[in-house]
Amino acid sequence: MHNRRSFLRLTGGAAGAAFATARFGIDEVAAATAQAAAGGRTPAQVAGDEDYWREIQFAFTLDRTIINLNNGNSCPCPTVVREAWKRYDDWGNQSPVYHRGMTERNLETVRRRLAEEFGADPEEIAITRNSSESLQIAQNGIDLKPGDEVLTTEQDYGRMITTWDQRVRRDKIKLTKVDFPAPTTGEDLISRLTRAITPQTKVMHFCHITNQSGQLFPVRQLSDIARARGILTIVDGAHAGGHFPYKLSELGMDYYGVSLHKWLLAPMGTGLLYVRRDRIAPTWPLQAAPATRDTDIRKFEEVGTQPVGPKAAINEAIAFQQAIGIERKAARLRYLTLRWANALRTEKRIKIHSNLAEGQTWGLACVSIDGIDSRKLVDHLWDKHRIVITSIGHDNPDDAAMSYRALRVTPNIYTPLQEVDTFVDAMRGVLKTGLA
């Protein structure tokens, strides 16, 4: 009898891959994981097992005519998640007034499973459409008066800075932005933010890891400092959820937002909002909810009629992640990042803008070439190598040491080593001959 791997060898090429993709679901992932972890192998040891990760790659339907190293924007769902999403949408379309309403009530299962996966009380988890919506619920829902100060950083996500800027215009609050070099350390971030606190500071807003350099913030320490001074904390976890292991209940902040369509690999249009239980009642929802829901986390989900299929399919994304294990997933992301970073970091003119130390970087890191405009480098990599990547950075006209422009490199668990190595070769080609 042929096993799946021998079948692929017999059928070969696209036909075998198509067969595998059609049937390779959560049970197969779990079985492959059990085999890879046999003998007590650690996540770091499994991270380099190419046979295992090739199995995982079969769980996705991807366009392999391009090399996608911009997975930090949004990620393709595993096929099993995509099929569930379509199944819920098709079922709901049969009689929306009945089936959609039934599925919406069943989203309580999603809430419980999100709470279990991220380590929180289900009554502190709202299911949103993305991290921007989650964070804006907190930003616009906190009562602030003229002169109250919000402390954030220059390198927070632009949409969130824009939200605070609107409150400055509308409510006459004060917004203070602290800058920092990339990379830096947790101790440096604690020092910079603590020094910036004033008697008027009411809110501290920062990333878990930044979308720019992947800088990791010491969330627990900063949250403890803020709480001791009566300051509320809002944490942007857009790039953290499903990226590396942590528990929300252990971080200590008041609010936390996640885009589930990023590293959890859930459908587009899904997000998570954590609100500390004692902050639910005093926080206004983004859209109006009745007073009877003042203490109910569900008041933050009041957005009117919306597609329910993407949210229902979150369960499949959670199950898929659990079949791999978040520790193994994080180890693989770090393995892929170190693959290209270690190959390039010793080259002259290469600068890494991310902290590559253990426990600091997983699947998001930034690199630049001295003398090469990273925005032009993006075009070159696409035109010559069909590599999808993005240029990202930060400009500080008052302090050049804080400014940088770089490529943000974000592989994922479906990225084969060949694609990472092609990126390395392309960068070395630019070092040698420029953007010709």
Which residue has tokens 């001074």?
229
What's the whole-number mean pLDDT along residues 251-277? 98
Helical ranges in 68-218 per DSSP H: 79-94, 96-118, 131-141, 158-171, 186-196
The least confident of 165-169, 193-197, 208-212, 251-255 is 208-212
Which residue has tokens 């003042």?
294
**Predicted pLDDT of residue 23:** 55
What's the whole-number mean pLDDT along residues 385-402? 88
Q: For 246, phi and psi rounded to 5 degrees?
A: -165, 165
The least confident of 41-50, 51-60, 92-101, 202-211 is 92-101
**Predicted pLDDT of residue 334:** 98
Q: Are 321 and 117 in contact (CB under 8 A)?
A: yes
The overall pTM is greater than 0.85: yes
What's the whole-number mean pLDDT along residues 94-105? 85
Average pLDDT, the chain: 93
What secondary structure, in 3-state letters, does 233-297 show? EEEECCCCCCCCCCCHHHCCCCEEEEECCCCCCCCCCCEEEEECHHHHCCCCCCCCCCHHHCCCH
Q: Which pLDDT band, with edges at 50, 70 and 90, does 104 fall under?
A: confident
Q: Which pLDDT band, with edges at 50, 70 and 90, does 416 fall under?
A: very high
Rounded to whole angstroms, how far apart are CA atoms 254 and 426?
44
The least confident of 23-27, 118-122, 186-190, 301-305 is 23-27
Among 430, 317, 411, 282, residue whose Cα is nearest residue 369: 430
Give the CATH class of 4-70+325-433.
Answer: alpha beta
What's the whole-number mean pLDDT along residues 165-170? 98
**Predicted pLDDT of residue 272:** 98
Per-residue pLDDT at 366 exceeds 90:
yes
**Predicted pLDDT of residue 322:** 97
Dump pLDDT digits (tens) for 268-291. 999 999 999 999 999 999 999 999
Q: How is the chain split into domains, by residue range?
A: 4-70+325-433, 83-319
Rg (CA), the chain: 22
Per-residue pLDDT at 21 exceeds 50:
no
As to burial, measured by CB atoms within 10 angstroms (0-12 exposed, 13-18 middle, 19+ buried), residue 434 is exposed
Q: Are 272 and 110 in contact (CB under 8 A)?
A: no
The least confident of 6-15, 106-115, 393-402 is 6-15
* Domain 83-319, CATH: 3.40.640.10
What's the whole-number mean pLDDT along residues 182-206? 97
Per-residue pLDDT at 22 exceeds 50:
no
Rounded to whole angstroms, how far apart are CA atoms 378 and 387?
8
